[in-house]
Amino acid sequence: MIFRKLKNLFKKRKDFDLESYLKKLSINRQDLIKTISDIDLDSPINAYLTLAILLKEKGEYYKSLKVLERLRKENLTPYEERLVILNLALVYKAAGFLDRAEDALKEGINRFPDESFFYYELARIRAISGKFEESVELLEKASQLKEEFYDELIHTKLYLADRYIDEGRTDKASRIVRKTNLKVPIPLLYYVLSKLYYSVGEGEKGYKSALKGIKLSPKHAYPFIQVIENFGELTYERLKEIIEISHFSLPAVSKGVEFLLREGNTDEALSLLDRYSLNGGKFSASLFETYLKLMWERGQRKQVVNKVIQYLDTLKKKEKLFKCENCGYRTDNFDWVCPRCKSWESLEINSEV
């Protein structure tokens, strides 16, 4: 009865696949959807499981938990029991009951020791609690069962190494970095290397590692710049190099302008912002305000007006026509049901400025 109603509801959307939708809601890793077993849409148990998942997505955690706890009392197949326990843990976690989520995941590991998602989800909770050593151990087990979790393991290890550096335990951080086997380089590795080198007094290696990280991911330039600055190695000459390497990224330009204004060099700051604008750079609100102030002080009143008009035109193009009064979702296409929260007749003209 429940599934028939759900199927009828979603049949109205020709581009909608209910089975794929349920898979996406049942786990936190969207890249692993293809590895999930097919969902039997005609199973009564799955009907209630689907209802619980949808209730969770709407934020009605109490109702979702009641459905799942009731399912626990049914005569379930091992596959169904595994799904119920996993989703029970996910709802507990979403509701903020981390201790109960942990208990459910531990039960899942005990009952199904070959299911990688139990280890993965428990590792995420351990990380939330700041227990990164335990998180790494759990992710090592998860990645042994499913190699797709290896990236998560690497990032968590490097985050742990970063914590060790902050605590002055550079020896432990160094061991983690040495044992990290990466298939492709990632920015976090160079960030940790940069901090590690600076922490042990090898500033030149720290700076070169930071440059490699910035070149690899210009949008993440800010934390690298912060490391260099925290160790007293940041000069405007280095900032100019960083700005060039990052292809005039917003973090690098913002720090460059901040540095120049602190030195009282307003002409150079305005020149940098002019070049950033010509390169099609995207301004933050504060940087754009600084740009307008500098132009105004230089008597470039007409340019200021033109920039404001240009900025407003850009906002108009980005503005979405409709907004859901229930969840805040924005879209240019009207529908009687909100694509995100599924509330009926909740899309209205977006009147926000």
CA distances, 306 to each of 300, 310, 319 (Å): 10, 6, 20
Is 91 found in the same domain as 40? yes
Identify the weakest region by mean pLDDT among 22-26, 127-131, 344-348.
22-26
Phi-psi region of 181 (alpha: psi -120 to 50; beta: other; left: phi over 0): beta
- Can you give the pLDDT at residue 177? 93
Is 73 found in the same domain as 3? yes
If one compares 102 and 14, the residue with the highest pLDDT of the two is 102
50 vs 63: CA distance, rounded Å: 13
345 vs 336: CA distance, rounded Å: 5
Q: Above pLDDT 70, what percent of the chain?
A: 83
Is 20 found in the same domain as 4? yes
What is the mean predicted confidence (pLDDT) over 142-164? Answer: 92
Domain count, the chain: 3
* Closest by CA position to 83, among listed 117, 54, 134, 56: 117
Is 327 found in the same domain as 272? no
271 in Cβ contact with 256 (< 8 Å): no
Within a domain: residue 242? no
Within a domain: residue 233? no
With a cut of 70, say whether residue 74 has pLDDT above it.
yes
Within a domain: residue 203? no
Within a domain: residue 287? yes
Is 39 found in the same domain as 53? yes
- Can you give the pLDDT at residue 136? 95
CA distances, 263 to each of 15, 266, 267, 300, 307 (Å): 57, 8, 11, 22, 26
- HEC assignment per residue over 35-81: HCCCCCCCCHHHHHHHHHHHHHHCCCHHHHHHHHHHHHCCCCCHHHH
Is 342 found in the same domain as 292? no
Domain boundaries, position 286: 259-318
Is 292 found in the same domain as 281? yes
Within a domain: residue 119? no
Confidence of residue 322 (pLDDT cuts 50, 70, 90): confident
With a cut of 50, say whether residue 241 has pLDDT above it.
yes
- Can you give the pLDDT at residue 324? 85
Confidence of residue 122 (pLDDT cuts 50, 70, 90): very high
- Can you give the pLDDT at residue 220? 87
| Average pLDDT, rounded, for the chain | 84
Is 287 found in the same domain as 324? no
With a cut of 80, say whether residue 316 has pLDDT above it.
no
What is the mean predicted confidence (pLDDT) over 302-314? Answer: 82
Is 330 found in the same domain as 294? no
Is 339 found in the same domain as 273? no
Is 42 found in the same domain as 75? yes
